[in-house]
């Protein structure tokens, strides 16, 4: 572990407490060993891990990003959301609306990039008529997302074709057109200098330009177990680790927010790294990827 909870260093400006129930804390990271990965010196880059319906934590984290960005002195700011806005948590609909409409209150230029997670992939495939995708999604808490849009199944355990078709039609009717457009327009990856941002990871041995959409949203074991140089530092979510997970070739920032009550943002400034976290009430005693 090369990060630890600590007071603010140069990269971590002092932050005021959030007005929500969530509080903010910093993980200070030791200097990099080996190759030094960087982002452009003129910008601050923020990557937000899997949110899964925790709009309470998201609101606190966005306020912290704005506070830090105003104090950083950068001319440009980039905020990358790594996907999985839907399912679990308190309110998937509110999370989609917040990410869709948020305009950072920051000096200079600010760019927001929203990536597609595997839960958004399943939701879109289900809406397009893929009932197997819907069944898969519901087995991993997709019914929570439907409930957040006002769609509640008569029998939560029903997975027959008639039940799935009914839910698909009701979800299609309940989903605001602007939310559907947002989901359809989600990117799969984003690059900032030496960093490659994706939801799940990349396939080892395949150059980044040739990575498949599916792998970048779904891959797990083969990517997590690889020690290969991927051609950039890969920043990802998808696989839960209860602390920011730093390796020589990847950084995982899915801290299981929907259950743990901890939503993590990786903060990049030149060659420096830190993590900003929103910490609120935990919701479950166990988690599932």
Whether 247 contacts 37, CB under 8 Å = no
* Count of CA atoms in the C-beta half-sphere (13 A) of 57: 32
The answer to whether residue 75 sits within a structural domain is yes
Model confidence at 4: pLDDT above 80? no
The answer to whether residue 132 sits within a structural domain is no
Identify the domain containing residue 105 by its residue range: 21-117+186-279
The average confidence (pLDDT) of the chain is 91
Across the range 36-64, mean pLDDT stands at: 96
Please choose, from the candidates 76, 15, 16, the residue with its C-alpha nearest in 3D space to the C-alpha of residue 45: 76
The answer to whether residue 242 sits within a structural domain is yes
The answer to whether residue 166 sits within a structural domain is no
Whether 283 contacts 60, CB under 8 Å = no
- Sequence-distant (6+) residues with CB within 8 A of 221 are none
CATH number at residue 232: 3.60.21.10
Q: Which runs of consecutive H residues, i.e. helices, occur in the chain?
A: 55-72, 92-101, 118-127, 131-139, 142-148, 161-174, 177-184, 213-218, 221-224, 257-260
The answer to whether residue 238 sits within a structural domain is yes
The answer to whether residue 5 sits within a structural domain is no
Query: What is the distance between the alpha carbons of residues 56 and 51, in angstroms, rounded to a whole number?
Result: 10
Q: What is the pLDDT of residue 2?
A: 44
- Render pLDDT for 233-285 as a digit per residue (tens, 0 to 9): 999 999 999 999 999 999 999 999 999 999 999 999 999 999 999 999 987 65
- Render pLDDT for 10-35 as a digit per residue (tens, 0 to 9): 334 344 444 457 899 998 887 787 78
Query: What is the distance between the alpha carbons of residues 178 and 7, in angstroms, rounded to a whole number?
Result: 41
- Render pLDDT for 191-223 as a digit per residue (tens, 0 to 9): 999 999 999 999 999 999 999 999 999 999 999
- Render pLDDT for 98-143 as a digit per residue (tens, 0 to 9): 999 999 999 889 999 999 999 999 999 999 999 999 999 999 999 9
Q: Which runs of consecutive H residues, i.e. helices, occur in 128-256?
A: 131-139, 142-148, 161-174, 177-184, 213-218, 221-224
Number of domains in the chain: 1
The answer to whether residue 211 sits within a structural domain is yes
The answer to whether residue 14 sits within a structural domain is no
Model confidence at 7: pLDDT above 80? no
């Amino acid at each position: 572990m090369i990060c630890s909870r600590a007071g603010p260093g140069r990269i971590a400006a002092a932050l005021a407490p959030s007005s929500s129930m969530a509080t903010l804390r910093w993980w200070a990271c030791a200097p990099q060993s080996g190759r030094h990965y960087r982002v452009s010196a003129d910008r601050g880059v923020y990557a937000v891990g899997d949110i899964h319906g925790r709009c309470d934590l998201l609101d606190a984290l966005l306020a912290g990003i704005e506070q830090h960005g105003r104090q950083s002195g950068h001319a440009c700011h980039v905020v990358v959301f790594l996907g999985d806005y839907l399912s679990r948590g308190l309110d998937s609909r509110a999370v989609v609306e917040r990410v869709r409409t948020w305009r950072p209150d920051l000096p200079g230029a600010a760019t927001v990039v929203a990536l597609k997670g595997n839960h958004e992939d399943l939701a879109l495939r289900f809406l397009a008529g893929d009932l197997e995708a819907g069944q898969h999604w519901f087995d991993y808490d997709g019914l929570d997302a439907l409930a957040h849009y006002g769609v509640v199944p008569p029998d939560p355990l029903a997975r027959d074709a008639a039940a799935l078709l009914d839910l698909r039609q009701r979800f299609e009717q309940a989903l605001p057109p602007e939310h559907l457009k947002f989901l359809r327009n989600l990117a799969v990856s984003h690059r900032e200098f030496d960093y490659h941002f994706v939801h799940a990871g990349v396939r080892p041995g395949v150059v980044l330009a040739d990575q498949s959409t599916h792998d970048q949203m779904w891959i797990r074991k083969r990517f997590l177990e690889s020690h290969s140089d991927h051609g950039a530092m890969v920043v990802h979510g998808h696989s839960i680790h209860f602390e920011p997970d730093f390796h020589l070739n990847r950084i995982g920032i899915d801290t299981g927010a929907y259950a743990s009550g901890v939503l993590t943002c990786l903060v990049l400034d030149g060659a420096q790294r830190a993590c900003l976290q929103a910490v609120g009430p935990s919701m479950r005693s166990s988690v599932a990827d």
